[in-house]
Amino acid sequence: MSVLVISPGRDPEAWVQELKNQHPGMQIFAYPEEHNKEDIEYAIAWKHPRGIFKNYPNLKVIASMGAGVDHITSDPEIPKNVTITRIIDDQLTLDMSAFVLALVMNHLRNLSFHHNHKSWEPTNYLKIEDQNIGVMGVGVLGSAVVKTLTNVGFKVSGWATQPKPQSDVTIFGKDQLDEFLGQTTIVVCLLPLTQQTENILNKELFKKLPKGAYIINVARGQHLVEHDLLEMVDTGHLSGASLDVFRKEPLPEEHPFWQHPKISITPHIASVTDPKKVVPQLVENYIRMTEGKPVKNIVKREKGY
């Protein structure tokens, strides 16, 4: 029984080392290292080559290296009997909340303006109490972002496909998107990427926001229709955007977002998995699998998250 770490484009070494440290008996292969496909029961994956897992007849679990699982669920050839798991980690959650808060504050207080323009003149700034932040997607990360922003004093609401009756803030349901957007001055996208949410940040949605609204996307590049954003910022309907994720990463040098004065770019750094922190939960699930117990943090395949 062996483990395959498969992450083309991301160095697997730190993961393999940490797995060995934390579970010395584990037999681990780092793709594309030579291995017997029939021995692999557990795979730890990030952006695996499409279709590859159908060649692993005894594979039981594919564990995502991150919080997102769209890189796995978007592969139609993942065998139906294979369980997919995701990472849920306090550090990832804290990092995401702090990052979104930083982007919001940068937007409100023009933090880079004075340095960039060598200007000592204080600028007018947007007030916390005038903002209604709308968080799209209130799963583990989204709920933490809602809490952090609420604690700072923002009015916050959420939008979710599942109703959340016990929440302290208003969580609008799937059919209340227009109402949610109509009162939102800053949109934070933290949705999982599914067929239903792909391209959701588009012109039709932007038009439903009040004039001057701001967009923050820390989910996936495929949520955003890029030319719709450019158009709506250029016409002045949107005041700008902070983007951490892109359809193509790294964002190509010639991409118009780089030069746009109202669009801020970060290189997919909102919350990055630390192998040291998350390997214990991968090892725990591996042991549970070998003992025939249910693994934790299972993805609902029919939902895609």
Q: What residues are labeled active site? A: 220, 268
CB of 255 to ligand OXD, least distance (A): 19
CB of 220 to ligand OXD, least distance (A): 7
Closer CB to ligand OXD, residue 96 or residue 232? 96
Rg over CA atoms, the chain = 21
CB of 279 to ligand OXD, least distance (A): 15
Closer CB to ligand OXD, residue 70 or residue 228? 70
CB atoms within 10 A of CB 301: 15
CB atoms within 10 A of CB 21: 11
Confirm if 231 and 59 have CB atoms less than 8 A apart. no
Instruction: Give the ranges where 239-274 is alpha helix by DSSP (H).
Output: 256-259
Measured at the CA of 198, the angle between CA 186 and CA 161, to 5 degrees, comes to 70
CB of 66 to ligand OXD, least distance (A): 2
Closer CB to ligand OXD, residue 181 or residue 278? 278
Residue 32: exposure state from Cβ atoms within 10 A (0-12, 13-18, ≥19): exposed
Of 5, 25, 27, 26, give the one whose Cα is nearest residue 15. Answer: 5
Of 200, 205, 202, 177, give the one whose Cα is nearest residue 190. Answer: 200
Tell me the C-alpha distance between 109 and 104, whole Å: 9
Tell me the C-alpha distance between 226 and 199, whole Å: 9
Binding site residues, ligand OXD, CB under 6 A? 66-68, 272-273
CB of 272 to ligand OXD, least distance (A): 6
Tell me the C-alpha distance between 17 and 286, whole Å: 16
**Beta-bridge partners for 133:** 156, 186
CB of 158 to ligand OXD, least distance (A): 19
Closer CB to ligand OXD, residue 117 or residue 303? 303
101's CB contacts (< 8 A; 6+ apart) are: 148, 149, 152
Tell me the C-alpha distance between 114 and 154, whole Å: 25
Q: Position of tokens 């290292």?
A: 33
Closer CB to ligand OXD, residue 150 or residue 264? 264
Q: Which residue's C-beta sits nearest to ligand OXD?
A: 66
Closer CB to ligand OXD, residue 111 or residue 272? 272
